[in-house]
Chain A
Amino acid sequence: MRFMPPTHRGEASFINVSASAFAAARLGALQALAAWPVLLGRVMFYLLILVVLAALWDKVAAEQVTPLAGMLPPEGLAIYIGVTEWVTLSVVAIERGFEDDIRNGGLEPYLLRPKSYLLQRVAPALGETMVRLVVLGMAGLAAVAMSGRPLPAPGALLALIVLGGLGCIVGMMLYVLVGLAAFWMRRVLPAMLIVQKLSFLLGGLVAPISLYPDWLFSIAKATPFGAHLYWVGVQTVTPSARLFCIGIAWQILWSMVLGALCALVWQAGLQKAVREGL
């Protein structure tokens, strides 16, 4: 048997893993494009949400019932909501795939393959997410232009693209954790809805968390939900390089923490499945 240095083998393995992940992501992106009616439906949903929530905030801003209403940006929160919903709706509902695989025995064939199950599930979803980001982003920009509201400055737009991409990765990690809960729960819908509502609340999906009381704002901006949405959306309200750097830092930190947590939960779930069955 030929001796192969472990470092060499490790590098080759890393390249192979990266290549297969990239191929899977590309496949996911192509599948998303092929299913264009689904994509179109998502664009419609996105535009509908924008119409409803923009109407809500325009009404609040127009009435100025309380001093807090005077703190809203003069152009309203439509662009902020456009951005947070853009990130939210771009993230693929990956938890459903995990639930199906784990509950219906679809996991077993994957375990026999030499590729990592988690990576083979996450990579295509990431590819699909990137396609959604581009399509929904274009639809959002078109909607803003047609509504006559001011478009974000080019610098802010670039910042939004970077933060939006990272925000999606954080969001996807959260939904991977939800999906892996299927090892313990029959249906992950309630867990998904709780994460969704925490994104509403602590991520600032429909209003910047800076409008909250100080104590809640301090907590919310440090959570993964803040990294998922708030640090992206804040660039539309108060665009600045400082907030961009802070946002990136939180997003990278939470991507790493949630990635590690996903790997741990997967190991624990797999051990349970091997020990007790599904």
Chain B
Amino acid sequence: MLTTYAMQIIAAIRISFADRINFFLQMTGMAVNNGFFFLLWILFFAGFRSVGGWQFDDVCLLLGIIMTVVGIAGILFGGYRDMAAAILRGEADALLTQPKPVLARLLARESFAHAWGDLVTGTAMLATLAGLDATRMPLAMLGVGLGLTVYVSASVAFASLAFWIAGARSLARDLTDFLLLFSSYPGSIYTGATKLIAFTILPAGFVVLAPVEFVRQPTSGNLGIAAAAAIGYASLAMFVFHQGLKQYQCGRTPTSS
């Protein structure tokens, strides 16, 4: 299964490389976009120094992790972005006749050129501004891996709503965007209901906040929380997707033209 996945995603990446000028424009555009967002935070911290105990290097770590997560997700699991539309268009039909897992095939069907821009800016930020030394860099990579698992899993769970809801394309994208929104701000601002949302429905807490906490304080407790969340959300996504697929195989899934 892994070999098939690797072959398919390599083909998708090569397609994204095919038009070199466009690839460069997409990648640079995304890097510039991230640069502007980062500039906003520079101005913010120049004026206000800290927010709820979070300082500039904490936000750099947070942004570095979320940009790297979104970059890797877009390059290696790009199909997650429009999976709901693929389900609603009936694209799973052809995949069901093949022996390989449907979810993997759907995830590997696309790779985004602009995601390289996220990856480059995210790793550059982690390497230079996040205040990480050589010992903490592997921890940051582990944090990225755990955050990536939660991010892709949550996105797959959102997209799986398309097995039941006709308007799920827009809904799934909106939920993923909400998740990114929650993941782009210091964790200290979330209290009460917003904190509950950030650690459940829109698991920004586990995509970035738990990994940030783990990198800052690498205790077994913090690692356990981040790892349990990754396993939990991955299991949930698999369960929801396969329940939905059963629904699809029975012909009960709504379709779009």
- A and B: partners? yes
Residues of A within 8 A of B177 (CB): 45
Closest B residue to A202 by beta carbon equals: B36
Residues of A within 8 A of B182 (CB): 52
Residues of A within 8 A of B44 (CB): 207
Residues of B within 8 A of A276 (CB): none
* Alpha-carbon distance between A198 and B32 when the two chains are bound, in angstroms: 10
- B178 in contact with A190 (CB, 8 Å): no
Number of interface residues of B (CB under 8 A): 39
Which candidate, B47-55, B101-109, B220-228, is the interface stretch facing chain A?
A: B47-55
Number of interface residues of A (CB under 8 A): 36
**Nearest Cβ on chain B to A40's Cβ, whole angstroms:** 10
* Alpha-carbon distance between A39 and B32 when the two chains are bound, in angstroms: 31
Known A-B contacts A52-B181, A56-B185; A41 and B194 likewise in contact (beta carbons under 8 Å): no
Known A-B contacts A38-B167, A65-B49, A189-B114; A45 and B40 likewise in contact (beta carbons under 8 Å): no
**Nearest Cβ on chain A to B241's Cβ, whole angstroms:** 22
Known A-B contacts A190-B29, A190-B114; A55 and B194 likewise in contact (beta carbons under 8 Å): yes
**Nearest Cβ on chain B to A183's Cβ, whole angstroms:** 13
The answer to whether B235 has its CB under 8 Å from any CB of chain A is: no
Query: For A37, A45, A48, which residue has the most chain B Cβ atoms within 10 angstroms?
Result: A48
Known A-B contacts A48-B178, A190-B32, A198-B36; A65 and B25 likewise in contact (beta carbons under 8 Å): no
The answer to whether B124 has its CB under 8 Å from any CB of chain A is: no
- B170 in contact with A186 (CB, 8 Å): no
The answer to whether A196 has its CB under 8 Å from any CB of chain B is: yes
C-beta contact mask, B107-140 vs A, less than 8 Å → 1, else 0? 0000001100100000000000000000000000
Q: A30-81: which residues lie under 8 A (CB-CB) from chain B?
A: 37-38, 41, 44-45, 48-49, 51-52, 55-56, 59-60, 63, 65-66, 68-69
Q: B155-186: which residues lie under 8 A (CB-CB) from chain A?
A: 167, 170-171, 174, 177-178, 181-182, 185-186
Residues of B within 8 A of A45 (CB): 174, 177-178
The answer to whether B189 has its CB under 8 Å from any CB of chain A is: yes
* Alpha-carbon distance between A211 and B44 when the two chains are bound, in angstroms: 9
- A187 in contact with B194 (CB, 8 Å): no
Residues of B within 8 A of A212 (CB): 43
The answer to whether B200 has its CB under 8 Å from any CB of chain A is: no
Known A-B contacts A45-B178, A55-B190; A201 and B25 likewise in contact (beta carbons under 8 Å): no
Residues of A within 8 A of B (CB): 37-38, 41, 44-45, 48-49, 51-52, 55-56, 59-60, 63, 65-66, 68-69, 185-187, 189-191, 193-194, 196-198, 200-201, 206-207, 211-212, 216
27 contacts between A and B (CB under 8 A): A41-B174, A52-B182, A52-B185, A52-B189, A55-B189, A55-B191, A59-B188, A60-B48, A63-B52, A65-B49, A68-B48, A185-B22, A185-B25, A186-B22, A189-B29, A189-B30, A190-B25, A190-B26, A190-B32, A191-B29, A193-B30, A196-B33, A197-B33, A197-B36, A201-B39, A207-B44, A211-B47
